[in-house]
Chains A and B, each alone.
Chain A
């Protein structure tokens, strides 16, 4: 309890990851799903930085985390453009309405 180890950080990251996965699965708002993706990527980032601090991974973990941040920004931009197009076509952001390809 007195010293914080690798386990504590991994538990926090697992909590963030699970919250993001549930958010992606449960939300019907398209923007809410994007927020779930951000939570998942943050959990993964926290794992990478914790391993960089406590194991032999060293600086490489932080480099990977920086790549994840940049790719998450790119993903948010392109997903938002898709969400705007979805809204223009359906006049709602409810992802359950996008069922044209349903067989």
Chain B
């Protein structure tokens, strides 16, 4: 067994087991811990998939930002030292049944398709040529520069034979997402601000 396969099975087991633990535990703080483990393992899987910039972003934003935000939420909404809102066993049983069936459907779909041959056939001959052109660029493992160029609208990694770019740039979605993030954060600060009770005027006068 190669080192890559060994690392994949290790991190896949950590990701799946931690995700299962998030579902099964009732304590919110422990759920946050298992969520950190799962997200970290997924970041390692990103590194294994040669997406180094994305793995680093996952660690920085998800594990460092979003989960800390969730833990702050736990802290601000906790009524006791151990917050446990139990789910009834009937609901858990129902959820496990539905989840198991959904997993069965997804797994049988994934295993039923021969991705290497069937998908390449379905996409046609021209995309096979594009695949041959792309794989020469994309295997280096350093994706920071092509990703940054794609976000400003330049795609030097996907250039056709006539010199024109064959893939779109992402400048407009990037701007939309950045403005969206700004608006959302302003809205969140407005929604979550501490509300001051307005004293009635009679109290001030008396």
- Chain A positions within 8 Å of B, measured between CB atoms, are 1-12, 14-23, 25-32, 34-36, 38-39, 42, 45-46, 49-50, 52-56, 58-60, 62-63, 65-67, 69-78, 80-85, 87-88, 91-94
Asked if B1 contacts A26 (CB within 8 A), the reply is no
Asked if A53 contacts B51 (CB within 8 A), the reply is yes
Asked if A52 contacts B51 (CB within 8 A), the reply is yes
A31-B180 in contact given A8-B12, A55-B115, A55-B131 (Cβ < 8 Å)? no
Determine which of A11, A32, A50, A70 lies in contact with B28 in the assembled complex, contact meaning CB atoms within 8 Å. Answer: A32
Count: A-B pairs, CB below 8 Å? 237
- Chain B positions within 8 Å of A, measured between CB atoms, are 1-2, 4-5, 8, 12, 15-16, 19-20, 22-23, 28, 31-32, 35, 38-39, 42, 45-46, 48-51, 53-54, 57-58, 61-62, 65-67, 69-70, 72-74, 76-77, 79, 83, 85-87, 91-92, 95-96, 98-99, 102-103, 106-107, 110-111, 115-116, 119-120, 123, 127-128, 130-131, 134, 137-138, 143, 146-147, 150-151, 155, 157-158, 167, 170, 173, 177, 180-181, 184-185, 187-189, 191-192, 195
Does more than half of chain A's interface fall in helix, strand or loop, or is it mixed?
helix
Determine which of A34, A53, A67 lies in contact with B73 in the assembled complex, contact meaning CB atoms within 8 Å. Answer: A34
